[in-house]
Amino acid sequence: VETCATVAAMRATAARLRQGGRRLALVPTMGALHDGHLALLAAARARADAVVVSIFVNPTQFGDPRDLALYPRSEAADAALLAGAGADALFLPAAAEIYPPGDETIVETTRLAGVFHGARRPGHFRGVATVVCKLFNIVAPDLAIFGEKDYQQLAVVRRLVRDLHLPVEIVAVPTVRAADGLALSSRNARLAPEDRAAAAVLARALDRAQALAAAGAPVEDLHEALRATVAAEPRARLVGLDIVDAEDFAPVQGRLTRRAGIMLSAEVGGVLLLDQREVDPPAGDR
C-alpha cells in the first residue's frame, strides 16, 4: 500500500486514484488497527473504487497529554494489515503537516461539541471536527466511513458536513464486538486481563436497556438498569450515560416514540471505554 507522509503527496495520490471519475472513499483512523477498522475498510471497498485510510493520532482531540502519550501506536503492523485488506493508499502525516506552524483555524459544531460526552471532554469534538475537515480538504473523498461506536462523533461529522456544505457522503458502520460483546477499540490493548473480562459489563448493560426499550419501558427505567448493571461490576466506574433522540440528538424522557441512541462510557482499570446502542420502542408505541 502506497504511504503518503505529506499533504502534497496525499493530494497527488488522491487525484490519481480519482482519475476517470473513480469514486474515492476515506477511512479516518488513529491507528492500532483492529477488526472494527477493517469493517470500515470493507464498507469503503463495497461502495467506492479506491480507498484511502488515514492514520493520525490527532493531538487536538486529547485533553490529557498523558492519554495522548499512552495512545497505542503500531504503524508497521497497521501498514501490513492495510496492504492485506485492500487499501489503495495510507495517509500517515506528522502533526506539523496537519497543523502547520501558526495554525489558528478551528471548526466547531457549537452545540453538539459541548453536550454529553463533549461536556466531559472540553475541546474534544472541536479537535475531531477540525481534523476531519482538514482530512476531507486534503483527500477530497466522495465518501467517508465512520463507526457507530463513536456515536456523538458520527453526529458531529454529519452536522459539520451538512452545515459547511462539504461534498462528502457519510457512511456509518455498526459496532464490531468481541465474543463477549465488548466493542473493539484500540484502547482495549491497555486493559489488564481481569479488567478485560470486567469490560464486557458495558455491552451487558446495553443489552438490558435494549430489552427494556423493546418491552416499552420508559427512558428512566433504562437509565436505572444501565447504572445498576455497571455499578454491580466493581472494576468499572460509570463516567457518562446519555440517552438521546437518534435524529436530532436531544435528550429523551418518558416513553420512547421513536429510535433513541444510548451513549455509555465507563472507566475500567484506568482506561476510558465507550459504547453505544440504538434502541427502538415496541412497534405499537411508534
Three-class HEC string of the chain: CEEECCHHHHHHHHHHHHHHHCCEEEEEECCCCCHHHHHHHHHHHHHCCEEEEEECCCHHHCCCHHHHHHCCCCHHHHHHHHHHHCCCEEECCCHHHHCCCCCCCCCCCCCHHHCCHHHHCCCHHHHHHHHHHHHHHHHCCCEEEEECCCHHHHHHHHHHHHHCCCCCEEEEECCCECCCCCECCHHHHHCCHHHHHHCCHHHHHHHHHHHHHHCCCCHHHHHHHHHHHHHCCCCEEEEEEEEEECCCCCECCCCCCCCEEEEEEEEECCEEEEEEEEECCCHHHC
Residues found near ligand AMP in the complex (CB under 6 A): 29-30, 36-37, 39-40, 146-147, 149-150, 173, 175-176, 183-186
Tell me the closest approach of the beta carbon of residue 108 to ligand AMP, in angstroms.
19
- With respect to ligand AMP, which residue has the nearer C-beta, 89 or 225? 89
117 is a catalytic site residue: no
CB closer to ligand AMP out of 224 and 267: 267
**For residues 1 and 225, which CB has a smaller minimum distance to ligand AMP in the complex?**
1
Minimum distance of ligand AMP from residue 36's CB (angstroms) = 2
- Comparing CB distances to ligand AMP, the nearer of 195 and 281 is 195
Taking the complex as a whole, how short is the minimal distance between the CB of residue 101 and ligand AMP, in angstroms?
25
Catalytic residue among 37, 117, 124, 165: 37
CB of 281 to ligand AMP, least distance (A): 25
Tell me which residues are annotated as active site: 37
